[in-house]
Structure 1
Amino acid sequence: MKPLRVLIADDEPITSQYLKILLQRFPNLLLIGTTTTGRETLKFLHQNHLDLIFLDVVMPDISGIDILRQFSKTSSLTPPLFIMLTAHEQFACAAYLFHAFAYLTKPVTPQHLEHVLQDASTLLRPESPFIRQTKPQLVFQTGNSELIFQEQEIILIEAAGNYLCLHTRHDNYIIRNTLKELTARLPPLFVQVHRSAIVNILHIKQVVTTASLYLVLSNNKQVKLSRRCKLQLDALLNLSNR
């Protein structure tokens, strides 16, 4: 099967890297590039054959809506298909007016992404079956029982001796384990930011680099960021050139 050729156009490195990780789980897709500005995106669109474009509505120079307008699509069902990324649902009407195929609200969930990709694959490759991703689950032992989470549910993991505190979207849990043992089996969404803390990059709202280094997470908790781990985070999110 010929894979669908994909571009990610988003000026937020956390969103871009998160999408890259999720898209790697779909063998039907081929990521051929990423862009961070509207002008760069338009140039890439005109120089490459694409099937799917994940396009941020708010870009630093040209908005995603203006890119749609300039591309002059006459139908939302002809390639390339534009999948708009936005934190504000009010942009959806304008996106559809200029023939966007779909829109995803940030933070993008794996479930919503899969639904959109299945619709796109059915439209563009009707002769080929859509290969679903395996839904990653994290399993933690707590005495005689198990805690099972989808990876996007976990915001932060903090160490305290031989115990860990799992901060999730809905509650906190204490398990007996060490950060070192856990790190070996965590998926790429999780990065160590301090000797006693691991965060899910999906839940990083802000990287603060003033007098002290710290992260602001989606639950508004602030987590210290060590200088050594900041270099690794910069490399992961391509922050060093921004």
Structure 2
Amino acid sequence: MKLNCVAIDDEPLALELLSKFIEQTAFLNLIGRFSNAIEALGFINQNEVQLAFMDIQMPDLSGMELARVLDGKKNSEKTRIIFATAYHQFAIEGYKVEALDYLLKPYSYEDFLNAATKAFSYFEKQAQTKSEATTGIDAAAPEYIFLKVEYQLVKVMLKDIGYVEAYKDYVKVHLLSKPNPILSLTSLKSMEELLPSDKFMRVHRSYIVALDHIDSVSKNVIQIGKNHISVSDNYKEAFLEFMSRWMN
């Protein structure tokens, strides 16, 4: 499998380097290079482009604005983004538009290849899921998820998650194997959609719990290890239904 890519940067030398790196990577196929994000958007709308490597600070339409347009598309085939920029302060914004990675200039080919490999793994998994859905083969239950932690994707085993807690624009994922939670830039709603519903349940506007790790329940309070988590009224009915199956 090869990924169709475009390179977008208003600096000629940076665009040349980005194009060179794409061309020397076996699983990438460079089908367009642009110094203007508006022209790039027109090309992407007319062609099948899986991956866009692009700068953020550009005239007329910035890379972040282009990313928001692409992220707003509802179809599953939307173009994914890897930013290549000198501005580290946009990293959080990059994660909000679900950029697959964030390369800080000057970056080496090794840095580029790591980001490209991450993208390839993402599309490979998407293709496998689509194939299983088409053939009617049930996908194996996932054993892990990847979470955005600072500048990287971190693999987290589902069986290691005790509970997930909302924290401003982030979530705290409390693991059984670590004394401190990991902080990931995502929403609790996104985590609820990501985690398998037969193993995890939202019990509060700020908490999702791992059902297998519940030690005890007293009235409307769940205990997981030394932690006590309240079940709010909005989620009480679903939790009580689960409890009734648990007790039978």
**TM-score, length-scaled by structure 2:** 0.47
Q: Which has the higher contact order (CA 8 A, sep 6+)?
A: 1
Structure number with bigger Rg: 2
**TM-score, length-scaled by structure 1:** 0.48
